[in-house]
Amino acid sequence: MDVFLDPANRQAYLEGFLTILKLTGASALLALLLGVLLAACRVSPVPVLRALGAGWVHLFRNTPLTLIILFCFFGLYSAVGVEFSEDIHVNNYWLAVTGLSAYTAAFVCEAIRSGINTVPVGQAEAARALGLSFSQNLRLIILPQALRSVVAPLGSILIALTKNATIAGVIGVAEASSAMKALIESNGDQTIAIFAVFALTFVALLVPVGYAFSALANRLVVRR
C-alpha cells in the first residue's frame, strides 16, 4: 500500500474521482433535462417531434459511448472547431460532458417513456374529461406520476453514467481509470493494491446510491 503514502499519488487518486464526480454531475443534469424533453417529444401529437425523439434514441442507444466521445473530440472539436474553452483540460471536460449527456439522455428518455406507460389510462382520460390540454395533461397529471415510477430506473442510469464517465479518459480527461493506469505503470509491483483501492472506491460510491434509489423508489411509488 505504500504507493498511496506518496502525496502525489494520493492527489492523482483524489483528482481522478473528483473528475468522475464532476463529469457525472454535469452530465446527469443535462441528460435529465434533455431526456425529459425527448420523452415529451416521443409522446407528443406532433409527428415531427415523435420522429425526432425516436431518431435520437435509436442513434445514441445503439452507438458505443467510446465512439461518441471520440467523435466529440475528433469531429466536433478537431474537425468542426467547436470549442468550449481555451484551456485544453476544460475544453476536453466539456466535450466529454457533451458526449455523456447526449448518450445518457437517450436512456433517460426511454425510462421516462416506459414510466408514462405505467400510468393507468383512466388518469389521462379523467384529465381529458376535465378539459385539460395535452401539455397540462402531461405536466400536471402524467409526468408527476410517471417520474415517481421511474426513480429506480433513473438510479441505474445514474450508476451507469458514473461508471461510463471513466471513458472520458479516452480524450485525455484525467479521470479515475487513467489515474489507476498511470499508477500501475509506475508501481507495477503494487498492482493489486492499486486496483483494490480504485475498484472499492467505485463500490463505496455506487452501492449506497443503488440502495438509496431503491429506498426512494419504494417511498415514492404510487400505490394503486
Mention every residue, 6+ apart, whose C-beta is less than 8 A from residue 154. 32, 108, 111, 213
Q: Which stretch binds other proteins (CB under 8 A): 5-13, 27-35, 89-97, 180-188?
A: 180-188
Q: Does 203 bind other proteins (CB under 8 A)?
A: yes
Grid cell, residue 192, equals 493489486
CB of 94 to other proteins, least distance (A): 17
Contact 154, 108 (CB under 8 A): yes
CB of 178 to other proteins, least distance (A): 9
82/91 with CB nearer other proteins: 82
Q: Which stretch binds other proteins (CB under 8 A): 1-9, 25-33, 90-98, 178-186?
A: 178-186
Can you tell me the distance from the alpha carbon of 132 to that of 147, in angstroms, rounded to the nearest whole number?
A: 19
Contact 100, 119 (CB under 8 A): no
| Contact flags string 124-143 toward other proteins, x per CB under 8 A | xx--x-----x--xx---x-
CB of 6 to other proteins, least distance (A): 18
Using the rule CB under 8 A, which residue among 207, 215, 220, 221 binds other proteins? 207
- 189, HSE (Cβ side, Cα atoms, 13 Å): 3
98/164 with CB nearer other proteins: 164
Q: Does 212 bind other proteins (CB under 8 A)?
A: no
Can you tell me the distance from the alpha carbon of 189 to that of 195, in angstroms, rounded to the nearest whole number?
A: 12
Q: Does 144 bind other proteins (CB under 8 A)?
A: no
Sequence letter at residue 197? V
| Contact flags string 18-57 toward other proteins, x per CB under 8 A | ------------------------xxxxxxxxx-x-----
End-to-end CA distance of the chain: 53
Contact 114, 150 (CB under 8 A): yes
